[in-house]
Amino acid sequence: MAPAGRTRIVALLVCALALGAAAGAGLLGTPAVAQAPIPVAFQLNFTAGGYNAGFALALQEGIYKKAGLDVTIIKGQGSGVTAQLVASGKADIAYADALAVMQLIAKGAPMKIISTIYQSNPNAVTMLTASGIKSIPQLKGKSVAVPTGQSQTAMIPILFKANGLSESDVNLVTMPGNAMIASLLQKQVDAMLGSLDNYDLIFRQRGVDIVSLPFADHGVATVSTSIIASDAALAQKGDVVRKFVRASLEGWDAAIKRSDDAIKALVQTFPTDTEPPRNLGELKAAISLMCKNGAKSVGKAEPEAWTRTVSVAQQVLGLSTSVPASAYYTYEFLPGTLPTKCPLG
């Protein structure tokens, strides 16, 4: 064979070897080894329910996995408790009511609100219809059950001041959230601080006639349940946080469009803590709050809503007026394009 022919064969062999090597290599010539999903522990605000079904759907349909995350969803015991876990460094990323979080941030807690799902809080004052109580001012002199560690507690001063009451006007009875329903049914208290997306649904499912007065309709139209993260997590794991937020919002987008699938995913995630008919009602109540307060997209509270929320919190909760609204939240970890636009439907 002529030297030129041999040269061409050698060149072809070298090219083939190079192509074969490239097929087994990643960027910059490094071996193409599949990256293991990054573990993420996500602390909820409360027990499993339709109000967190979007996260369960993102988990069960592999949205988190596709983002390179191995997510574990942990049940909570109230927004106040969850916020404290993040403030103390015992949780990196969590889900809690904005006011409970803001109270801690104002005191120097190193964390931020990074994506708001509930644009208006779901809290409500609930009474038995037979009580005859039909307005907030009529609570004067009455006993009211208050749940331990939940967002309603932080909002009491706001609610009462907006309706001409002080805390001393009402007998506040603090108890675990799961004890309030029985206390009201047994008439041990005259009213309770509950929520549209949980407690009220339980009463209605049982056929109990109730009067429900939403906080948002009685002077407390504040942004509410949000994804939060510690400053340390944002600084050290910012890319992971961004992936988690993006995947979570995709999960909520799917839950809004496919509620039945979201509830199935919730049952898969928490098989011993779920009750599908009630959970579906919780999810629908949650969805009804996602485009309130001037929101343009699910997952992002607009600056005006934050300004109003901070103003209310400063007046009633005593948050420092020297702390600007921007100290409580950041948009830095939201995706460039949010998947769900408002209004819904």
Please give the pLDDT value at position 40.
97
| Element (DSSP H or E) covering residue 311 | helix 303-316
Say yes or no to pLDDT of 10 above 60.
Answer: no
Number of domains in the chain: 2
List 146's β-bridge partners, or say none: 174
Residues 144 and 170 placed together within one structural domain of the fold: yes
Closest CA to 118 of 233, 231, 197: 197
Residues 227 and 302 placed together within one structural domain of the fold: yes
- pLDDT (tens digit per residue) in 307-343: 989 988 887 778 888 889 999 999 999 999 999 999 9
Say yes or no to pLDDT of 250 above 90.
Answer: yes
| Residue 3 DSSP class | H
Residues 237 and 109 placed together within one structural domain of the fold: yes
Which whole-number Å values give the CA distances from 344 to 63, 124, 125, 266, 323, in the listed order? Answer: 22, 23, 27, 22, 34
Say yes or no to pLDDT of 11 above 50.
Answer: no
Q: Which of 217, 252, 272 is the last residue of a domain?
A: 217
Residues 115 and 137 placed together within one structural domain of the fold: no
Say yes or no to pLDDT of 53 above 50.
Answer: yes
Max Cα–Cα distance, the chain, nearest Å? 108
Please give the pLDDT value at position 78.
87
Tell me the torsion sign for CA atoms 267, 271, 276, 281: negative
- pLDDT (tens digit per residue) in 80-119: 899 999 999 999 999 999 989 999 999 999 999 999 999 9
Residue 82 lies in a domain: yes
User: d(Cα 12, Cα 163) in Å, to the nearest integer?
Assistant: 85
Closest CA to 234 of 112, 334, 337: 112
Residues 196 and 133 placed together within one structural domain of the fold: yes
3 state DSSP class of 59: helix
Residues 270 and 211 placed together within one structural domain of the fold: no
Tokens of 204: 């209605």
User: d(Cα 168, Cα 49) in Å, to the nearest integer?
Assistant: 34
Do the strands 226-230 and 191-195 form a parallel or antiparallel pair, or are they unpaired? unpaired
Query: Across residues 65-77, what is the average pLDDT?
Result: 96
| 238-255 residues labelled b (16+ CB within 10 A) or e (exposed) | eebbbbbbbbbbbbbbbb
Residue 134 lies in a domain: yes
- Mean pLDDT, the chain, whole residue set: 89
Q: How confident is the model at residue 237 (pLDDT cuts 50, 70, 90)?
A: very high
Count of Cβ atoms closer than 10 Å to residue 55 Cβ = 29
Domain membership of residue 94 as a residue range = 38-120+223-280+291-327
Across 21-25, 295-299, 332-336, least confident range: 21-25
Tokens of 280: 């579906």
Closest CA to 222 of 124, 308, 294, 315: 308
Residues 236 and 207 placed together within one structural domain of the fold: no
Please report where in the chains the tokens 């109003």 appear, as a residue.
308
Residues 46 and 128 placed together within one structural domain of the fold: no
Please give the pLDDT value at position 39.
97
User: d(Cα 299, Cα 295) in Å, to the nearest integer?
Assistant: 9
CATH code of 274's domain? 3.40.190.10
User: d(Cα 278, Cα 115) in Å, to the nearest integer?
Assistant: 26
Q: How confident is the model at residue 33 (pLDDT cuts 50, 70, 90)?
A: low
Residues 78 and 150 placed together within one structural domain of the fold: no
Q: How confident is the model at residue 34 (pLDDT cuts 50, 70, 90)?
A: low
User: d(Cα 110, Cα 233) in Å, to the nearest integer?
Assistant: 10
Do the strands 93-96 and 226-230 form a parallel or antiparallel pair, or are they unpaired? antiparallel
Query: 303: cis peptide before it, omega within 30°?
Result: no
- pLDDT (tens digit per residue) in 121-136: 888 999 999 999 999 9
Residue 100 lies in a domain: yes
Say yes or no to pLDDT of 12 above 60.
Answer: no
Q: State percent of the chain over pLDDT 90.
A: 70
Tokens of 182: 């029985």
Tell me the torsion sign for CA atoms 229, 247, 268, 97: positive
Across 29-43, 237-251, 256-270, least confident range: 29-43
Beta strand extents in 32-100 (DSSP E only): 38-43, 69-74, 93-96
Q: State percent of the chain over pLDDT 70.
A: 90
Tokens of 55: 């996260």
